[in-house]
């Protein structure tokens, strides 16, 4: 499961087949099967606009193939738009903090070391104060991690802790490219904490034009301009796990100020619905350019009013969806989710039951209370006498298996005096 449930996405794929070619559908399916969030948003938004008017996907304009050519009954609402899903991948590669934490956790785990580990990362903040550039952490490129950080000196540091876990220890690297301090303190549990300056802050005007959102908008702007289309041009931004999405208002405003040929920018992301305790709401943000027909402005500004009818409920936000895809949680390690135990009846996740039968979920991952329930039924000599499937709600990627046990059966229970 990514942002939307797999059942939802398959339904949308089926519906989109009414106006997309088989080749286009196959391209979406292939990308979705690889966990591509960009393809997911494309499938969803093509479906949304197809319910509001006629949609042509990848129509040829001067050798370019934009994502959406929208032609409803009102000609004033016609536009040509491209979809761009924004992540922080480029910035994360320049500031590989997450990779550092993952590698440190791996090194600690392999050596079976407990303790509290504190990670302090320096930055080039003083330099950027003069230039106006965004702050960058002082960490080496990933290709130099082994040479600059996890080298023989680190091995000596880690091995000393392994042999003397009761002693505090520090590992410092201070070079032109790296400013890092790893501190160890004895503890009965393994915990990693840390600190560093933010490298995603928009504290200066220059930062508004040097971030993933502005870069994505500018890239799409050039592509759309080269189509030669003389009507309204628009860009649709979707959240692919970027922290800049929530800071997008001034970025988009600055972009439109310097790109008058772009008529509008729409932004879609997912926010948590605290009322229902899940990610159940698509957030839509609209910003108009210098010249936009009043009818189209009203139409785009009111899309959020149709939201409950156009969008299915999302199951995750983009960041959590990325984590799920990266860790292969979707297909490999599914959480055991027992729902209810009452008397001789238990209600289980159907996906969990299939994983158990297929041997993908070992018993040690099951909550003890559920293991005790099945053990009690066995010890009492009870067979399963009834099973039924209860459908999940809102196209969630799971149903429920209800298992009911009967009275003790002599086939598996001790003989009794009548």
Q: Which residues contact 203 (CB under 8 A, 6 or more apart)?
A: none
Evaluate whether 405 touches 383 at the Cβ level (below 8 Å): yes
Q: Is residue 171 located within the same domain as residue 154? A: yes
Q: Is residue 95 located within the same domain as residue 44? A: no
| Token pair recorded at residue 63 | 């050798």
DSSP string covering 229-287, please? --SEEEEEEEESS-GGGGGHHHHHHHHHHH-TT--EEEEEEEEEETTTTEEEEEEEEEE
Indicate the helix (H) or strand (E) that contains 214: helix 212-225
Q: Is residue 83 located within the same domain as residue 99? A: no
Domain boundary among 271, 299, 324: 324
Mean pLDDT of the chain: 88
Q: What average pLDDT does the segment 193-217 reach?
A: 90
Among 51, 13, 14, 53, which Cα is nearest to 31's?
13
Q: Is residue 417 part of a domain?
A: no
Q: Is residue 81 located within the same domain as residue 211? A: yes
Q: Is residue 414 part of a domain?
A: no
Q: Is residue 82 located within the same domain as residue 221? A: yes
Q: Is residue 415 part of a domain?
A: no
Q: What is the structure's pLDDT at 335?
A: 45
Dihedral over Cα of 304, 305, 309, 315: its sign:
positive
Angle at the Cα of 117 (from 116 to 120), degrees rounded to 5? 140
Q: What average pLDDT does the segment 245-270 reach?
A: 94
Residue 274 reports pLDDT greater than 70: no
Q: Is residue 319 part of a domain?
A: yes
Q: What is the structure's pLDDT at 224?
A: 97
Q: What is the structure's pLDDT at 82?
A: 98
Q: How confident is the model at residue 333 (pLDDT cuts 50, 70, 90)?
A: very low
- Global model pTM greater than 0.85: no
Q: What is the structure's pLDDT at 334?
A: 43
Q: What is the structure's pLDDT at 370?
A: 78
Q: Is residue 302 located within the same domain as residue 290? A: yes
Q: What is the structure's pLDDT at 252?
A: 96
Q: Is residue 216 located within the same domain as residue 71? A: yes
Q: Is residue 418 part of a domain?
A: no
Q: How far apart are CA 271 and CA 115, in angstroms?
A: 36
Q: What is the structure's pLDDT at 31?
A: 94
Domain boundary among 307, 324, 341: 324
Residue 50 reports pLDDT greater than 90: yes
Residue 146 reports pLDDT greater than 60: yes
Write the CA distances from 201 to 210, 213, 248, 367, integer angstroms: 11, 13, 12, 42
Q: What is the structure's pLDDT at 332?
A: 40
Residue 331 reports pLDDT greater than 90: no
Residue 338 reports pLDDT greater than 60: no
Q: Please, how many CA atoms are within 13 Å of residue 302, restricted to the half-sphere of its CB? A: 8
- Residue % of the chain over a pLDDT of 90: 62
State the distance between the two ends of the chain, measured CA to CA, in whole angstroms: 54
Domain boundary among 141, 170, 195: 195
Range of the domain at 385: 333-408
Q: Is residue 172 located within the same domain as residue 161? A: yes
Q: Is residue 76 located within the same domain as residue 224? A: yes
- Residue % of the chain over a pLDDT of 70: 91
Domains identified in the chain, total number: 3
Q: What is the structure's pLDDT at 348?
A: 85
| Token pair recorded at residue 116 | 């509290």
Q: Is residue 394 located within the same domain as residue 254? A: no
| Token pair recorded at residue 46 | 């093509």
3-state secondary structure of 147: helix
pLDDT tens digit string along 382-400?
999 999 998 877 678 888 8
């Amino acid at each position: 499961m990514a942002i939307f449930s797999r059942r939802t996405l398959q339904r949308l794929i089926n519906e989109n087949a009414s106006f997309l070619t088989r080749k286009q559908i196959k391209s979406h399916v292939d990308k979705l099967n690889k966990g591509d969030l960009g393809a997911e948003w494309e499938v969803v938004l093509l479906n949304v606009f197809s319910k509001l008017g006629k949609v042509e996907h990848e129509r040829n304009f001067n050798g370019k193939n934009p994502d959406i050519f929208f032609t409803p009954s009102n000609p004033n609402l016609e536009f040509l738009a491209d979809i761009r899903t924004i992540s922080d991948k480029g910035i994360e590669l320049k500031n590989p903090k997450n990779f550092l934490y993952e590698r440190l956790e791996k090194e600690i785990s392999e050596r079976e070391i407990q303790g509290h580990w504190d990670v302090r990362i320096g930055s080039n903040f003083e330099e950027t104060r003069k230039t106006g550039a965004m702050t960058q952490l002082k960490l080496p490129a990933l290709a130099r991690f082994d040479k600059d950080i996890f080298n023989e000196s680190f091995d000596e540091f880690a091995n000393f802790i392994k042999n003397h876990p009761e002693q505090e220890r520090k590992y410092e690297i201070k070079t032109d490219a790296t400013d890092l301090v790893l501190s160890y303190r004895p503890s009965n549990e393994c915990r990693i904490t840390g600190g560093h300056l933010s490298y995603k802050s928009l504290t200066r005007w220059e930062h508004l034009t040097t971030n993933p959102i502005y870069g994505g908008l500018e890239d799409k702007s050039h592509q759309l301009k080269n189509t030669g289309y003389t009507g309204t041009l628009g860009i649709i931004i979707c959240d692919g796990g970027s922290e800049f999405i929530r800071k997008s208002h001034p970025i988009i405003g600055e972009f439109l100020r310097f790109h008058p040929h772009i008529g509008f920018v729409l932004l879609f992301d997912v926010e948590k619905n605290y009322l229902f305790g899940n990610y159940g709401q698509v957030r839509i943000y609209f910003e108009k350019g210098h010249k936009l027909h009043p009818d189209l402005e009203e139409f785009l500004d009111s899309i959020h009013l149709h939201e409950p009818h156009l969008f299915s409920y999302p199951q995750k936000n983009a960041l959590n969806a990325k984590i799920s895809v990266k860790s292969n949680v979707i297909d490999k390690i599914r959480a055991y989710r027992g729902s209810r135990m009452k008397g001789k009846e238990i209600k289980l996740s159907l996906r969990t039951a299939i994983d158990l039968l297929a041997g993908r979920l070992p018993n040690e991952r099951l909550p003890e209370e559920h293991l005790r329930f099945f053990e009690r039924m066995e010890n009492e000599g009870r067979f399963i006498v009834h099973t039924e499937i209860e459908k999940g709600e809102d196209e969630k990627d799971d149903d429920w298996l209800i298992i009911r046990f009967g009275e003790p059966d002599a086939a598996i229970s001790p003989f009794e005096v009548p």
